[in-house]
A = this chain, B = another copy of it.
């Protein structure tokens, strides 16, 4: 397809597509003559992914370029390609290690991982932004005077593990490695609002089932 059709099918303006081409986010089309290039379905798919990251995920253009660089690097092992893509997305800042609440949260999260037997997460700890986010969130609870220990967290962690199994099962239905990694990035950006909405809806459903409206 030509640039005009790529623009129409992706909903991205030709000026913006040209900008993405200049920035190297999108690989050039096949040059037909000096003024015309031909684009394919892979360009369209990639363009949708870029748009999801920038418009929905609010990921800066430089970061998008970095993420796509990892996605396209066949020399990296699969878990690293997946992880690197995820880790390039917006993350919580490094928690203050001198803070007493952060220290207590570290211990709680560590005890949780032991209890769950999540050996890989346990090994990744310091380099994983997800681990860091969990420490920050648990520390925020403690700072407000609420404990949130391993016993309380473990059943939630088991349910989130089953959610992650679903994520990866869905990802594996895609035939190519490139599509799978794209799906993982999209999941990180778009799944979370869906899960949050489903969780709140389930709370309403369960709460009306238990308490009704007439008590």
Contacts and interface: CB of A to CB of B under 8 A. Distances in A.
Interface of A: 10-11, 48, 51-52, 56, 77-80, 82-83, 86, 118, 120-121, 124, 128-131, 133-134, 136-138, 140-141, 143-146, 148, 152-153, 155-157, 159-168, 170, 186, 188, 190, 192-215
A198 to B, nearest CB: 4
A195 B79 contact: no
Contacts of A134: 194, 197-198, 201
A85 to B, nearest CB: 11
A163 B159 contact: yes
A76 to B, nearest CB: 10
B120 A197 contact: no
Tell me what chain A mostly uses at the interface: helix, strand, loop, or mixed. helix
A134 B79 CA distance: 30
Given A79-B213, A120-B209, 18 more contacts: A77-B212, A78-B211, A79-B207, A82-B211, A124-B208, A130-B203, A133-B193, A133-B197, A137-B194, A140-B193, A141-B194, A146-B186, A153-B194, A157-B198, A159-B162, A161-B205, A161-B206, A192-B196
A168 B77 contact: no
Nearest to A118: B205
B201 A131 contact: yes
A207 B83 CA distance: 9
Contacts of A78: 211, 215
